[in-house]
Structure 1
């Protein structure tokens, strides 16, 4: 009996010693993060995009979506590149930071031009992670000191003879590129991300890769155009008088009658444009797939959280508009997918209305990190565990007037529909269960009066939007200013 007890204790001691010095189990190993971002990629590939589901060639992103939780009702905090990325990387909503468009500089924001705000990458670096960023990830608010290695994006050179579509100069163009796929900048960014996944790491890592595409101009190899024969292109449904029931400020958000969108349509090149957008989408899917494949072949596949998102949506003629910068479904609806080992289950799909602002606290919680107290958004971990869990919509989007940047417009997407405030007096409401295209503004319909009242109460008030700093952030900034002389020798400050 005594001998058996000694054997048992010896075995237990050996087991404990082996655990302490051997390879950690999946639950003990720190989680890495692979953070993937696409620019201007709309939601056509989602299964609820009935006209396009199955028509978009995106096998790699669909595979990722099916391997974890796919958020089919995710929305941007701002339908513009820099404000969106600044929001989800800082955790601070546009109606707090005041950053609404690309023309605004970060130095104009009291909330973001000081040391008080910690970027998502900064949180990981502060927590002992190596941080890598390649391609278009941030835009305007980089905080380069938060990255161990960062190489930004570059646009590919225009093909000889551009503009190829012959409708506009500048970025509103499309056609086959003269470069090989290997020579394209997004391919190079993917190569850098793959190289990180192929290395041995002594510390956990936060690795971000962002594609410039499918931002315009749409220049990709002819092979991708060939995947979408023109006679098989499905055009978005349009309504000629779609702007007639909008208030004046909302009409000002649209490019309007006679815009580039109308020019594309009336020139008979709408199918060509959609073909080019889809071709570029598939090129992006290919590059994302290469990075995801590298992860699968690496020793990190079982302890790496994968996040994929698009920074906002994209119009291709709907509401007489082209590109983004609107508060309608086309401009605000994004892609968002999470795969988190031991948390998500393959095939999960959540139809809860969530925000890209929710990414910061979610990734932090998954990795056991404490995010700053001032950040907006809510952790999606409950939905990652149970995609149908109760959830109050966080899908709020902000935009500013094109000429008066201090005039904020705010929209909320909710199970009840979409409600948008333009200034203090003008508004829209769409019953999206019956009107998914948002063709009929029901703001003055008494049938929806109680719904409008409820949604209006959920939208941040303009008195709140006028405040540049949330109270917790104001306090942190004041403490930071007072304690500048007492800071440690950290590679960056909080």
Structure 2
């Protein structure tokens, strides 16, 4: 009898030890890394005041692997999300806009939730994960989910608002719950349901809409950011010597009635009035704190249901956002503020004490990271032509960084943004010290490097706000030549184990204070 009991206990212990890890997959929209846990970081290239109130994300960061230098592959919703969720870059997915569906223009690529579904997970999605609608994702890519996809019932009421920001009185919120309120409530109910069957692993994706325009949030969150404490940018001018092609006229923001009434042109070296800039920044901050609060209620419910010890939690924002720096707004550029976004992963038993990485990472890294963290079959590297390859990756798993295995890591990361209906492509590369960009003719999904429309080089060691384009400065000619070769060689040559990998010491180049 004792042997039988001991055998049973050992079997239960073995089953618990090897139980598949769940995944709680959290997403925010248009979120630059201006968050509480970034407050003291030198990696955020703009003065931050007042201190951001994000207690839920701060708490999650303390038990996560936090990449403080994570970069998106393209700074707009659908291309960025498609890239992350397929593990492939825009030139592979062929998604550069809000209307193209990768399964139609790229290939029948397996997505992150679809892969977990194939591995026996219950895959559940809600809110904004893929870019929604019939064009960009075939209505949220149904093949990726085991359960019917959920969108909030009040979206139409709130999307009809024409003001760029709105602080919602509590009475109106009760009459018409905000979409993110309903998404959080749905997520909490799903967690309660999932807890009833602990034998079934799940992949639960929760996509919050905020702080995306319009900045709509319960009015109480404005109390966190008194108007007289909200600063405006100290660099309301475009970067010196910036090529015109790098600029976006922020039509997304100018389409709102209150901004349209200002007759803002969006032209280079114009900006919005100071009071409008301050109000927009205050509204954006309040929307972030509102999203953070809801995210906290979802994570708390996961813990309350006893699922925390066996659930990986990832969080990311789909790209950064410009709040008047350089006189620029929204995303749609290759600047640091557009391409830099928050990303973290909490893995029970591995990141409990918190880990902060200053390594350069990319959003295509998350898919293979979650696969490895969950103990699923590892994804192969994509071949040069992966059109017919359903499952592969163009990023690197973070697990060697999390385990501290040592070895080299990539020293440069890549983003891009199209112009002129994708006839021109801006390819940008971030190294430890520099951001280097070439705007080139683009045809048949390939760059024509010799047909240049502009070059940018920003030295973050002396110019973290990217105020001075030094690409044409003679003193930077050696750096420009090296960076151009690395950019054109592409992401494969940046992989540590690639024989073509060309690495250099960022401090080898002198600092030039007077240009």
Which residue is 2:24 aligned to?
Answer: 34
Shift of 1:189: 0.9
Give the aligned partner of residue 146 of structure 2: 148
Give the direction of change, closer, same or farther, for the CA distance of 1:275–1:19 in structure 2 (3 Å limit).
same
Q: CA deviation at 1:158?
A: 4.1
Q: Which is worse superposed, 193-202 or 147-156?
A: 147-156
- Specify the alignment match of 2:304 in structure 1: 297
CA shift for structure 1 position 300 = 1.4
SS at structure 2 position matched to 1:268: helix
1:422 to 439, 442, 445: 439
The offset of 1:144, in angstroms, is 0.7
- The answer to whether the 8 Å contact 2:191/2:302 transfers is yes
d(CA) in 1 for partners of 2:143, 2:270:
44
Shift in Å, 1:175? 4.0
Q: Provide closer, same or farther for how the CA distance between residues 92 and 59 of structure 1 changes in structure 2, counting only shifts above 3 A.
A: same
How far 1:283 moved relative to its partner?
0.6
Q: Which has the higher contact order (CA 8 A, sep 6+)?
A: 1
| Equivalent residue, structure 1, for 2:222 | 225
2:497 equivalent in structure 1: none
Rounded Cα–Cα distance in structure 1 between residues aligned with 2:34 and 2:330: 14
Q: Secondary structure at the match of 1:290?
A: helix
| Aligned match for 1:409, one of 422, 426, 430 | 426
Is 141-150 or 274-283 further displaced after alignment?
141-150
The size of the alignment, in residue pairs, is 440
Matching residue of 1:18: 9
Structure 1 residues 405 and 225 mapped into 2: Cα distance closer, same or farther (>3 Å)?
same
Deviations 1:225-266 (CA, angstroms, capped at 9, x unpaired):
1221101112232242x2441123224677798319988732
Instruction: State how far apart, in whole Å, the 2-side matches of 1:463 and 1:230 are.
Output: 44
Alignment of 1:64-83 (within 5 A): 64-83=60-79
Aligned-pair CA distance for 1:55: 1.0
Query: Matched residue of 2:275: which SS?
Result: coil
Q: CA deviation at 1:376?
A: 0.8
Higher mean Cα deviation, 146-155 or 250-259?
A: 250-259
Question: Deviation at 1:213?
Answer: 0.8
> How many angstroms apart in 1 are the aligned matches of 2:284 and 2:2?
62
Is 1:436–2:464 an aligned residue pair? Answer: yes
**Post-superposition offset of 1:393:** 3.4
Following TM superposition, by how much is the alpha carbon of 1:410 offset from its aligned partner in structure 2, in angstroms? 1.2
**CA-CA distance at 1:190 after TM superposition:** 1.1
Quote how far apart the aligned CAs of 1:448 are. Answer: 2.7
Q: Residue 176 of structure 1 is aligned with which of 160, 168, 176?
A: 168
Query: SS of the residue aligned with 1:157?
Result: helix
- Alignment RMSD: 2.9
After TM superposition, list the pairs within 5 Å mapping 1:297-446 onto structure 2.
Answer: 297-370=304-377, 371=379, 373-374=381-382, 375-386=393-404, 390-393=408-411, 395-401=413-419, 403-423=420-440, 424=449, 425=452, 426-446=454-474
> How far does residue 459 in structure 1 lie from its aligned partner after superposition?
2.5
In structure 2, distance between residues paired with 1:463 and 1:16: 51
Does the C-alpha gap of structure 1 residues 212 and 281 become closer, same or farther in structure 2, counting only changes over 3 Å? same
CA shift for structure 1 position 108: 5.3
What is residue 452 of structure 1 aligned with on the other side?
A: 480
C-alpha change, 1:463 and 1:31, in structure 2 (3 Å) is closer
TM-score by length of 2: 0.79
Matched, 1:136 2:128: yes
Distance 1:12-1:409 versus aligned 2 partners, 3 A rule: farther
Is the alpha carbon distance of 1:56 and 1:383 closer, same or farther for their aligned partners in structure 2, counting shifts above 3 Å?
same
C-alpha change, 1:462 and 1:335, in structure 2 (3 Å) is closer
Query: 1:288 — aligned with what?
Result: 295
Asked if structure 1 preserves the Cα contact closer than 8 Å seen for 2:49 and 2:229, the reply is no
1:204 corresponds to 2:211: no
CA deviation after TM superposition for structure 1 residue 318, in Å: 1.6
Deviation at 1:23, TM superposition (A): 5.6
Distance of 1:372 and 1:196 partners within structure 2: 32
* CA apart distance, 1:389: 6.7
Report how far residue 387 of structure 1 moved. Answer: 10
Q: CA 1:263–1:17 in 2, change beyond 3 Å: closer, same or farther?
A: same
Q: What per-residue deviation string (whole Å, max 9, x for no partner) do you get for residues 64-100 of structure 1? A: 0111111110111110000011000011100222211
Higher gyration radius (CA): 1
Q: What is the TM-score of this pair, normalised by structure 1? A: 0.82
Which residue in 1 is equivalent to 2:86?
90
